Amino acid sequence: ATGNAVAGGSTETQVPDRSTSAPATPGVGSGPGLEEGATPVSVDGETETAPTVVIGASTGGPKLIERLFERLPAALEAKVLVVQHMPPGFTDRFAERLDARSEYDVAEAADRDRLAPGEAAVAPGGVHLEVASNVGERLRLRLDDGERVHGVRPSIDVTMESVAARVTDPLCGVVMTGMGRDGAAGIEAIDAAGGHTIAQDEATSPVFGIPCQAIETGCVDTVAPADGIADAIVDAFTTDGENDE
């Protein structure tokens, strides 16, 4: 169940010139998801230290995020925040599935948790997930049961905007399939903070509303298919080395 999907979001916008498409990964499924048994992306060259990644999705997101986590390499040593529109009672099991299928230690976020490199936190259903501080390559998390944003709680925008305001480490924001415009303002905030921004492409998005609205802002750096998002995240933080071609 994905729950709490927001209505709205045109699907007719063309990708702006600024955006570039990440190629599909050879040997990986070309459909909306990845083939079973996908292996983590290889990290060639040097990567930036202790990067932070925020991934947001709604309708159609859980399976694609699971597959993304299968390919997210531990060698990246990222701190990952996941905001999937889900009601309470579902996000803990979602976090358990991500933990089982990835090289990252994944758990549902709790108030005042500290998130270290190689760890991921899933926003609990029914509350917003924020970053309260970024000290010594660790993020202190905060949960907020305030007003819904775009009709949802957790909101992608709330998490991304708090990250943009408080995270000093290298940063990447990712928006994936879903209805509505939650995440568009967050992508703008991450872009303004100097972070890299990624949106899932229309062809592999079960619902293109969220990525489309983000792309419309003109603040998306890379538009990638579902099976190219993990590669795009790694590329965003790779400062040396050659791309595999």
Q: pLDDT tens digit string along 26-36?
A: 333 333 334 45
User: Could you tell me if residue 231 is inside a domain?
Assistant: yes
Amino acid identity for residue 244 in this structure: D
Q: Give the integer Cα–Cα distance in Å for 27 and 29.
A: 7
Q: Does any domain span residue 12?
A: no
- Report which residue type is found at 203: A
Evaluate whether residue 222 is within a structural domain: yes
Residue 38 banded pLDDT, cuts 50, 70, 90: confident
Catalytic positions, written as ranges: 58, 85, 182
Please count the structural domains in the chain: 1
Q: Look-up: residue for tokens 């590669």? A: 231
Q: pLDDT tens-digit profile of 100-121?
A: 999 999 999 999 999 999 999 9
**What is the widest separation between alpha-carbon atoms in the chain?**
47
The answer, yes or no, to whether residue 23 has pLDDT greater than 50, is no
CATH code assigned at 231: 3.40.50.180
Model confidence band, residue 9 (pLDDT cutoffs 50, 70, 90): very low
Q: Is residue 35 part of a domain?
A: no
Q: What is the pTM of this model?
A: 0.84
Please report how many Cα atoms fall inside a 13 Å half-sphere around the Cα of residue 118, on the Cβ side.
3
242 assigned to some structural domain: no
Domain that holds residue 177: 50-237
